[in-house]
């Protein structure tokens, strides 16, 4: 199983039962995860993202070699961000980056964001965009961060022909027509961590097609069991299940 939505380090607002890397890795392995795409909670509020990306890369190697794959962040609002992108690729050998436009204070139609997406596409880097970290109603009263509006992503995908995007936690504030348009580009994928409703994965598969859907847990902030049980809650054909749990992510990883 490939989990495309995992975080290392400390969630800023509480300790989590599995926020020690050894424990997280043990949990993932016990669940049958063979590869986990990993960002860092530190990227949300830290401004020295180059330092965070370094720690992320080395912790992935140290605690989960062969399992944890680091997805560093790039914040196009920061001075000299292209060097962060370069380091992700050249220094750390990362295959993708994870963006947090809401915590970093830019919209997806910001010209700086377009530049970043163009550069990532040119380097064949996979781009993950986390639309939401937690329910807007429970955010710390002094840190109210609106969810990412994914609508401008449709134009970005149309404009940058090589761009491939995974929208993480995209369903808390998803507009049905935006999800449809993103899916129609054939270069946007969705993870199941924030998909709610009974048999939600089944409805998602009906909406966007099983080849757009990826297994993602948002662990350790969300319980990993949630994503696992969602696969059981929806009646999926063997081929669909294999694609969601692994095959679609494998294709993206190539």
Partner 1 sequence: MIWDLHCHLTGVPGRTPTERMGQLIEIADRLGIERLCFYMGMGFLKEPTPEELVEQNDQVLEALAHYHDRAFGFCYVSGDHVEVSLAEIERCVARGPMVGIKLWVAHRCNDPVIDPIILRAAELKAVIYQHTWLKTDGTMFAGESTPMDVVELAKRHPRTPLILGHTGGQWELGIRAVRPYANVSIDIAGSDPTAGLVEMAVRELGAERVIYGSDSGGRSFASQIAKVAGAEISEREKRLIYKENLKRMLTPICKAKGIAI
In angstroms, what is the minimal distance from the CB of 136 to partner 1? 5
Q: Residue 217, class by beta-carbon neighbours within 10 Å (0-12 exposed, 13-18 middle, 19+ buried)?
A: buried
In angstroms, what is the minimal distance from the CB of 197 to partner 1? 5
How would you list the strands of the sheet with 2-8, edge to edge?
2-8, 35-40, 68-70
Q: CB nearer to partner 1: give 73 or 169.
A: 169
In angstroms, what is the minimal distance from the CB of 216 to partner 1? 13
Instruction: Report the candidate in 240, 216, 250, 222 with the shortest Cα–Cα distance to residue 126.
Output: 250
Helices 152-159/176-184 angle, 10° precision = 10
Instruction: Report the candidate in 207, 78, 189 with the shortest Cα–Cα distance to residue 129.
Output: 189
CA distance 209 to 201: 10
Helices 21-30/49-64 angle, 10° precision = 50
Q: CB nearer to partner 1: give 141 or 161.
A: 141
In angstroms, what is the minimal distance from the CB of 99 to partner 1? 21
161 close to 144: Cβ distance less than 8 angstroms: no
In angstroms, what is the minimal distance from the CB of 239 to partner 1? 19
Q: CB nearer to partner 1: give 16 or 188.
A: 16
Which residues make up the interface to partner 1 (CB under 8 A)? Answer: 14-18, 134-141, 144, 194-200, 219-226, 228-230, 232-233, 235
Q: CB nearer to partner 1: give 137 or 254.
A: 137
68 close to 36: Cβ distance less than 8 angstroms: yes
Q: CB nearer to partner 1: give 176 or 198.
A: 198
In angstroms, what is the minimal distance from the CB of 200 to partner 1? 5
Q: CB nearer to partner 1: give 16 or 60.
A: 16
Instruction: Report the candidate in 144, 124, 149, 119 with the shortest Cα–Cα distance to residue 134.
Output: 144
């Amino acid at each position: 199983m490939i989990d495309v939505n995992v975080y290392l380090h400390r969630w800023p607002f509480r300790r989590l039962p599995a926020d020690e890397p050894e424990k997280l890795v043990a949990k993932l392995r016990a669940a049958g995860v063979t590869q986990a795409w990993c960002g860092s909670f530190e990227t949300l509020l830290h401004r020295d993202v180059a330092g965070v990306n370094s720690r992320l890369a080395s912790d992935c190697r140290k605690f989960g070699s062969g399992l944890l794959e680091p997805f560093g962040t790039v914040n196009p609002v920061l001075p000299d961000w292209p060097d962060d992108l370069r380091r992700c690729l050249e220094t750390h050998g990362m295959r993708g980056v994870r963006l947090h436009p809401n915590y970093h204070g830019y919209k997806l139609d910001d010209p700086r964001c377009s530049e970043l997406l163009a550069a990532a596409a040119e380097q064949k880097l996979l781009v993950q965009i986390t639309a939401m970290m937690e329910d807007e109603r429970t955010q710390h009263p002094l840190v109210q961060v609106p969810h990412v509006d994914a609508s401008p992503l449709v134009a970005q995908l149309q404009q940058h022909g090589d761009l491939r995007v995974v929208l993480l936690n995209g369903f808390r504030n998803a507009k049905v027509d935006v999800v449809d348009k993103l899916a129609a580009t054939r270069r946007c994928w969705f993870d199941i961590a924030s998909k709610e409703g009974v048999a939600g994965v089944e409805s998602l598969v009906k909406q966007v097609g099983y080849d757009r859907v990826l297994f993602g847990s948002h662990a350790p902030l969300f319980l990993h069991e949630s994503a696992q049980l969602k696969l059981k809650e929806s009646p999926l054909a063997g081929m669909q299940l294999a694609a969601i749990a692994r095959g679609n992510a494998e294709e993206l990883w190539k």
